[in-house]
Amino acid sequence: MWTIGDDLRRQRREIDALFDYRYSQLAHVFAQLIRLGLMDETALAGLADEKRADIRHMLSFFRRRDEPVP
């Protein structure tokens, strides 16, 4: 029973981190959702150019970080 509780708490922390709705974190959240395939970049159409540029910058960082090291 304790193992299930621990697993649920871990999953809850992951979900809370992924869906952090504070305004200061929205660009990071959108970049993570796009990276994970849960959202498409076309959904950003209504955002200001500056915000979209921030999200693209974060996406490029995530992609570089996720690349395997030779």
Predicted structure pTM score: 0.68
Question: Which whole-number Å values give the CA distances from 66 to 25, 27, 40, 41, 48, in the listed order?
Answer: 21, 19, 19, 19, 27
Tell me the longest C-alpha to C-alpha distance in the chain: 49
Contact 31, 59 (CB under 8 A): yes
DSSP element (H, E) containing 68: none
> How many structural domains does the chain have?
1
The residue range of the domain holding 61 is: 2-66
pLDDT tens track for 9-63: 999 988 887 777 788 888 888 998 899 898 998 999 988 999 999 999 999 988 8
